[in-house]
Structure 1
């Protein structure tokens, strides 16, 4: 938790004459042009193109921050194409720019055909700063080249600065990757390497300090549905010229902060919602419930591009707002009640969890509340129908900037374990002599699992809820009959979500003469399907998000039968999960208990065999038959 420095951003020097007259700036002095002949040999083999679908010959990017705070960006790319989807992406390429504040020039756009001939792409300048580039003809084996430069003639809206990132490996092979950053005095660049120790070559060019990474023959990185975000597994560099988060705090404070003087609509709303005899926690809950449930998520299409929060009157009139609108409303309500609260902006977990250098890289807004006792609560009124005091896993463990007039506060939102996202089931049932298993169950869910149920069912009537829940529960087991499914606490977001039902599994067990083989229908049963079935992986694997499945069954067994080889226990663990299950006989009942904790995290390629072994062990334990034998045999 860090109070931010109040250091102001560096002031730019006088304007360049090319900025005044909106003329393109020269960047080739920092990174001389690389031609097609420099990278086209040897030719990419057809076998490699068939494997990857395409191959990058050149990825050359240059970013320059000039002394007046304006930026020039240049990109030069050449790619050999083969797969249909790769070809389709280059049929027509669009570029946009604001003619009042920037200049965009396409310097080269060509198609190199397999027979050695070259065709120029067709550039079509369209209204409102749009340019369409048509590459033709395209067929397997062609190489496309696109070289372009964009000059910005005003500094960034936040401050005269530059920030960004660059990956040093892609999902497809790259023959040459060059990344150049040039920063003019009085600015200075700081950078942070992630998953690499590759330092840049540096030199001075006039008043510019230049940093350059020049890499060759980079392998591709296989990806699939289980691959983590690139920032978690690929080498990359993060860079910025901002010396602190203070300009970011100041900018977003101006856009998102509620008015210092409480609007009359908020005062009236507070009088309608809040009772004087409520405790502090009850007041916080009432305000959160209103912002989360009563105000629906979204904006009118004509306000989608509006960066500032909506005016309170408009939001309360149509009862609609996005994450920043809902957060601003909740903060305004709480402050009117004398409860300390702030808007927190963050980059959600699905975009990687690495701590970033100062820059405007946020995609979500939530609320931080400090109670009179000093406890900090994190509330996400736009995260869905989340149980009070819970926040979605997508917000947890992320870097957050708390906006306040004292320069802001940079912190990390606490990350909860599987105990915060639980599915707990308690079952009582009977295994009949005809091998059917009938049981009643009550299930309690919390965290993201509770939120998912509310998202599906909270606004539906009882008939729809019963029918759809029946289908959802029956889908887990072949031949299942679900009766009397009903929610117990669906709409009360101060409580976990609970539901109950009666389940009949016909012919669930198998009888072989005097032996019955019975498989316990665990909730959240593990299976070796899809990504876990392969023998090895060429990329990292994102494991399931943290969640706990706990399950217990008390099962009446048929008269005259007893357990064979019982009791038994299974216990497996690794750094990505814990598994424990036990079965024993008490009188004429099977007592079965199981708890599985998915801990989340990333499995690297060399760790995959360990994870695969753990998962397969759990799967076999879940599928194990319980043997019941007739007494006296």
Structure 2
């Protein structure tokens, strides 16, 4: 990583005359133009085109931070197209910019036809800074070229700085990728490499320090629904000219920090909600429940672009707010009770897990509460109706920026593991000699699983809950009959979500003369489909996110039958999961225990066979038949 001065911020220098007159800046001296003739495709790529549907011939990216804090970005893209989905993406390309603060120029837009001819794309300048580029004609075998430059004439809204990230490999093959970053004095760049050790070339050009990655013959990276986020598995570079998080914290504090003088409406609301609370924890729960459950998520369409939190009166009037609004409201309610609370911003797990260098790259706001002993409690009032003290896995383990100090404070949100997202089921029933299994079940759920139940059912009446839960439970067991499904504490956010029902599985077992083959209907049964249904993978695999399935059955056996080959035990473990099951006989009852812990994580290509073996072992153990034999008279 390139070092940078330990100062709070860097002040820009005298404004460029091209900035004053809103003219395009020439950035080609940092990265001379590569023409279509330099990368013209040949017949050798036909096989790749048929496999991938598209091949990138050139991806040339330039980002320049000038001495006055303004930025120029240039992109030159040339690609050969084959598949229908690739062709349709190039029918019409839109670009948007603010004419008051920026200039966007389409420098080249062409279609190269297989017969050697070429056509210029049609550029349509529309109102409000929108440009539509229409490529025609498009058919398999054409090559498209788009070269564009955007000049910004005001510094970034946060500070005079530049930050961002660039991938050094794509999901489709790329014959040449060049990424150039130039930073003028007095700014300095720091960067971090991820999933690669490919350092850039670097040189001084006038008052600019230039960094450049120039890579060729990059293979594609096959992706599917089970592939992790690209930042976690393919090469990329993270860069910034910010030396610390202070400008970022200041920017978000202006938008998200509740007013120091708590509005009268909030004061009264806080007192009303906590009137019957006996302890500090009870107060926190009451206020959290209100912000999480009573205030619905969202905003009116005319406020979607508003970056600041909503005005208190409007929010309380329609009982609606997004993550910023809900978090700011909860902090105000807590602070009125003398409870230390702060807003924290983070980038959720769905966007990759690797922390960024300083930059405004956050998509969510939550609340951090600190008790008298200094212990922190993280609450997400916008993450759904989570059980109190539980946190969505999408937040867990992520880096958060607390807005409690002028320079902010980076903290890692604790990760609870599979036990914090749990489905626990206890069943007691009877297996009949006609092979039907009838049992009653009580299920307790925590974490994300409990939240998902509440999202589906919390605002519905008991009839709807019963009918829909019956369908949901029956869908995983063919032929199951569900009776008396009932939630017990769906609206109580202080407790796990629990429900009960009676279930009948007709002819669930198989009878062969005096032998019954019985398969235990485990909850959350393992399946091979979609996860490990191929012999090898060419890309990483996202293992199932952490969750624990624990299941217990106490089954009365048919008269005269006993278990054969019992007790039975199995244990499997790998980096991404743990599995254990035991089955034994006790007082004419079959006692069945099973616990599966999915641990999450990424399965690399070279680890896939190990994961596949583990998953198949668990699947076979789930599908095991218990042999019951009739005792001779």
Shared fold (TM-score, shorter chain, > 0.5): yes
Please state how far the C-alpha of 1:172 moved relative to its aligned partner.
0.2
The aligned counterpart of 2:145 is 145
Q: Distance in 1 between matches of 2:344 and 2:381?
A: 12
- 1:96-145: CA deviation from partner (whole Å, max 9, x where unpaired): 11110000000000000000001000111111111111100000000000
Query: Is the 8 Å Cα contact of residues 121 and 135 (structure 1) preserved in structure 2?
Result: yes
Per the alignment, residue 316 of structure 2 pairs with 316
1:373 paired residue number: 373
Superposition map of 1:285-296 within 5 A = 285-296=285-296
Equivalent residue for 1:129? 129
- For 1:485, the equivalent position in structure 2 comes to 485
Counterpart of 1:566? 566
Q: Deviations over 1:169-200 (max 9, x none)?
A: 10000000000000000000000000100000
Match of 1:408 in 2: 408
Conserved in 1, the CA contact under 8 Å of 2:538 and 2:605? yes
What whole-Å deviation, never above 9, does each CA across 1:318-339 have from its counterpart, x for those lacking one? Answer: 1110000000000011111110
Whether the 8 Å CA contact 2:232–2:353 is kept in 1: the answer is yes
Other-structure match for 1:391: 391
Matched, 1:443 2:446: no
Residues in 1 aligned to 2:301 and 2:206: alpha-carbon distance in whole angstroms:
48
Q: Distance in 2 between matches of 1:136 and 1:44?
A: 25
TM-score between the two structures when normalised by the length of structure 2: 0.98
Partner of 1:333: 333
Residues 249, 406 of structure 2: 8 Å contact kept? no
Alpha-carbon deviations, 1:328-368, whole Å to 9, x = none? 00001111111001000000000001011000000000000
Structure 2 equivalent of residue 94 of structure 1: 94
Gaps of 5+ in 2: none
- The RMSD of aligned alpha carbons is 1.1
The aligned counterpart of 1:25 is 25
- CA deviations on 1:518-544 (whole Å, 9 max, x unpaired) are 000000010111231111101000011
Residue matched to 1:181 = 181
Correspondence for 1:459: 459
Question: Matched residues in 1 for 2:202 and 2:537: separation?
Answer: 37
- Other-structure match for 1:105: 105
Residue 247 of structure 1 corresponds to which residue in structure 2?
247
Q: C-alpha separation between the residues in 1 aligned to 2:162 and 2:378? A: 31
- 2:575 aligns to what? 575
For residues 263-311 of structure 1, give each alpha carbon's deviation from its aligned partner in whole angstroms, at most 9, with x where no partner exists: 1111111222122762110111111011011111111111000000011
| Correspondence 1:65 to 2:65 | yes
What's the offset of the Cα at 1:60? 0.2
Q: Distance in 1 between matches of 2:406 and 2:71?
A: 30
SS state at 1:473 partner: helix
2:277 touches 2:283 (CA, 8 Å); kept in 1?
no
Residues 56-84 of structure 1: CA distance to partner in whole angstroms, max 9, x if unpaired?
00000000000000000000000000111
Decide whether the 8 Å contact of 1:44 with 1:80 is kept in 2.
no
SS of the aligned residue for 2:283 comes to helix
Q: Judging changes above 3 Å, is the alpha-carbon distance between structure 1 residues 510 and 584 closer, same or farther for their aligned structure 2 residues?
A: same
Give the match's secondary structure for 1:530: coil
The DSSP-based 3-state class of the residue aligned with 1:324 is helix
Paired residue for 2:555? 555
Q: Deviations over 1:526-566 (max 9, x none)?
A: 01112311111010000111000000001011111111111
Superposition map of 1:1-80 within 5 A: 7-80=7-80
- Name the SS for the 2:111 alignment partner: strand
What CA distance in whole angstroms lies between the structure 1 residues aligned with 2:593 and 2:521?
11
Q: Which runs of 4+ in 1 moved over 6 A?
A: none
Shift of the 6–207 alpha-carbon distance from structure 1 to 2, 3 Å rule, reads closer
Corresponding position of 1:601? 601
**Distance of 1:398 and 1:254 partners within structure 2:** 23
Conserved in 1, the CA contact under 8 Å of 2:246 and 2:406? Answer: no
Q: SS in structure 2 opposite 1:532? A: coil
- Paired position in structure 2 for 1:495: 495
Q: What secondary structure sits across from 1:372 in the alignment?
A: coil
Cα 1:238–1:281 change in 2 (3 A) is same
State how far apart, in whole Å, the 2-side matches of 1:376 and 1:37 are: 60
SS of the equivalent of 1:49 reads helix
Given that 1:6 and 1:407 are in contact with CA atoms closer than 8 Å, whether structure 2 keeps it comes out as no
The CA deviation at 1:7 is: 4.3
Name the structure 2 match of 1:351. 351
CA distance in 2, matches of 1:585, 1:104: 75
SS of equivalent to 1:531: coil
Q: Is the 8 A contact 2:169 2:218 kept in 1?
A: yes
- C-alpha distance in 1, partners of 2:182/2:43? 32
Q: Tell me what 1:584 maps to.
A: 584
Deviation at 1:387, TM superposition (A): 0.5
Secondary structure, aligned partner of 1:124: strand
Question: What residue in structure 1 maps to residue 237 of structure 2?
Answer: 237
CA distance in 1, matches of 2:495, 2:620: 35
1:182-220 per-position Cα deviation (integer Å, ceiling 9, x unaligned): 000000000000010000000000000000000000000
Q: Which residue of 1 aligns with 2:536?
A: 536
Within 2, Cα distance between the matches of 1:38 and 1:392? 50
After the TM superposition, which of the residue ranges 595-604 and 406-415 deviates more from structure 2? Answer: 406-415
Structure 1 pair 7–252 and aligned structure 2 pair: CA distance change class (3 A): farther
Displacement after TM superposition at 1:8 (Å): 2.4
- Contact 1:101–1:154 (CA<8 Å) still a contact in 2? yes
| Alpha-carbon distance in structure 2 between the residues aligned to 1:316 and 1:443 | 36
